[in-house]
Amino acid sequence: MATQDVLTRSQEQKEDIPPGRHHRWVPWVLMAVFGVVAVLGWRAANQRAKEEQAMRVAQARAAALRPVPVAVAKVTQQDFPVYLTGLGSVTAYNMDTIQPRVSGEIMKIFFREGQFVQAGQLLAQIDPRPYQVQLQQAQGQLARDQAQLNEAQLDLRRDRSLFASGIVPRQQVDTQQALVDQLQGSIATDKAQIASAQLNLQYCRLSAPISGKIGLRMVDVGNIVQPTTAIVVITQLQPIAVIFTLPEEQLGPILRGLQAGESFEVEAYDRADVHRIATGMLLATDNLINQNTGTLRLKAKFANNNDALFPNEFVNIRIRSQVLRNALVVPAAALQHTSRGNFVFVVRPDRTVEERPVETQLTQGNFVVLSSGVKPGETVVTDGQDKLHVGSHVIPQSTSTSTAQGEQTS
């Protein structure tokens, strides 16, 4: 009974507790557990970050101390030729359109299309028979007039003798003298007609006025041609010319040089501006500047012995305008650009690098002329600059430092 009473009272006490009161401590316990776990996780992450940062710093220090392989080149002091460039068009040094001077039928053609011919070489034959007939007529007229002149001269001598004897009047002598003069004029006209007929016979033979290459013919055998008919075109390829333009602001050194009697070498390059085709000399300049483009036309002459240049071909022209004496030259790859200006990495004797501000005077092709910042013989980095900073150790690997002859102005 006692045990039953105790159980009954315990049950009644539990029923007196408000519902849910015995669960209020659970959320607080969970929050405390989560807080402890979060703090421990943050401390662990922070520790890992510090360790990773220390590792990166150590790696950076090790990398800074590790030598960097770079390409280098020496600063050279040399005479640096300055080249001007322009787009040029090849043109025949001489070009002749062969046209007849007389009318007639083409009897023979003595050339092949595309053939090289020499000056004076026979090209075509026009039917000469009509002009042979004209020559014969003029010769017959001359013979008749000559006979009449001989007779008139005999009569004149006889009249002068009779006039001296008083047999004939003075008027008869004067009339006979006028007849002689008239016949002499006729003979002069006959001789001119003979020369004209002979000239026409020569014109029936069409010859090359210049040496050059024959184009495609425009007539065939049997065609009737007139003095306005074009038969063929001959272009002179040796020598050959190139006409190109340069901006007016670049003309000063060239014009002054021409006035002083200097000669300017001109180089022709292919369309890619890579391979040099031919070398010639500046021949002349035009007499006015094109106001629309601000350029002046210039003409260069090329021997073209290997037929490398062809009429109407476009080429890139380089002409040496002046030479910078004792210029400081470095490869263009060594020059670095920043908002603060240009600089180069200079290799010290201990194989560390420093940034050296420089002033550029001219950039031409793969080379740069510097006006200040470096000295002859110093070593500059030309490749691998992205891995460098002030004080970096380097392993220099020399590159070619060939002269800047023939490089293109940029």
Torsion of CA 143, 144, 147, 153, to 10 degrees: -110
Tokens, residue 287: 């007499």
Is pLDDT above 60 for 4? Answer: no
Number of domains the chain contains: 3
pLDDT in tens, 66-78: 788 899 999 999 9
CA distance 54 to 170: 143
Confidence band of 61 (pLDDT split at 50, 70, 90): low
**Residue 294 forms part of a structural domain:** yes
Q: Last residue of a domain, which of 324, 348, 366?
A: 324
Position 1 pLDDT exceeds 50 = no
pLDDT of 32:
73
Main-chain phi, psi angles of 309, to 5 degrees: -100, 145
Closest CA to 107 of 122, 125, 123, 121: 125
At residue 287, φ and ψ (nearest 5 deg) are -100, 10
Residue 36: pLDDT band (50, 70, 90) is confident
Residues 330 and 354 in one domain: yes
Given a contact cutoff of 8 angstroms between Cβ atoms, the answer to whether 285 and 297 are in contact is yes
Mean residue pLDDT across the chain: 86
Confidence of residue 322 (pLDDT cuts 50, 70, 90): confident
Give yes or no for a contact between 319 and 283, defined as CB atoms under 8 angstroms apart: no
The domain that holds 167 is classified in CATH as 2.40.50.100
Dihedral over alpha carbons 217, 223, 226, 231 (to 10 degrees): 10
Strand ranges across the sheet with 116-117: 95-98, 232-235, 212-214, 116-117
**Together in a domain, 214 and 252:** no
In a domain, 49, yes or no: no
Predicted pLDDT at 166: 80
**CA dist., res. 107 & res. 197, Å (int):** 19
Find the angle CA(93)-CA(96)-CA(101) to the nearest 5 degrees: 155
Task: Spell 55-74 as b/e; 16+ CB within 10 A means b.
Answer: eeeeeeeeeeeeebebbbbb
Tell the residue number behind the tokens 């333009």, with chain if given. Answer: 245
Q: Do 159 and 172 contact (CB within 8 A), yes or no?
A: yes
Quick one: tokens of 233?
Answer: 């075109």
Q: Is 7's pLDDT higher than 60?
A: no
Q: Give the mean model confidence (pLDDT) for residues 359-365.
A: 87
Q: Is the pLDDT of residue 18 over 60?
A: no
Same domain, 170 and 289: no
In a domain, 46, yes or no: no
In a domain, 37, yes or no: no
| Same domain (yes/no): 124, 194 | yes
- Which of 177, 203, 232 marks a domain boundary? 232
Tell me the average pLDDT across 401-409: 46
User: Is the pLDDT assigned to residue 112 strictly greater than 90?
Assistant: yes
Strands 341-347 and 295-302, sheet pairing: unpaired
186 and 292: one domain?
no
- Same domain for 165 and 245, yes or no, is no
**Domain presence at residue 300:** yes
Q: Which of 197-206, 352-361, 391-400 holds the top average pLDDT?
A: 197-206
Report pLDDT digits (tens) over 124-148.
Answer: 999 999 999 999 999 999 999 999 9
Least confident of 101-110, 133-142, 249-258: 249-258
Q: Contact 357/394 with Cβ under 8 angstroms?
A: no
Domain of residue 348, residue span = 68-80+325-398
For the chain, give the number of residues. Answer: 410
CATH value at residue 313: 2.40.30.170
Same domain, 149 and 218: yes
Q: Is residue 284 part of a domain?
A: yes
pLDDT, one tens digit per residue, over 183-217 is 999 999 999 999 999 999 999 999 999 999 999 99
In this structure, the answer to whether residues 363 and 240 fall within a common structural domain is no
State whether 288 and 378 are in the same domain: no
Q: What is the CATH number of the domain that holds 365?
A: 2.40.420.20
Judgement on whether residues 141 and 218 belong to the same structural domain of the protein: yes
Are 316 and 301 in the same domain? yes
- For a pLDDT cut of 70, what percent of the chain falls above it? 88
DSSP labels for 94-114? Answer: SEEEE--SS-EEEEEE---TT
Q: State the pLDDT confidence band at 410, using cuts at 50, 70 and 90.
A: very low
**Domain assignment of residue 190, yes or no:** yes
Give the domain-ending residue among 281, 305, 324: 324
Residue 295 has pLDDT above 80, yes or no: yes
What does the alpha-carbon distance between residue 147 and residue 153 come to, in Å, rounded to a whole number? 10
Task: Say whether both 130 and 226 belong to one domain.
Answer: yes
Mean pLDDT across 220-225 = 95
In a domain, 270, yes or no: yes
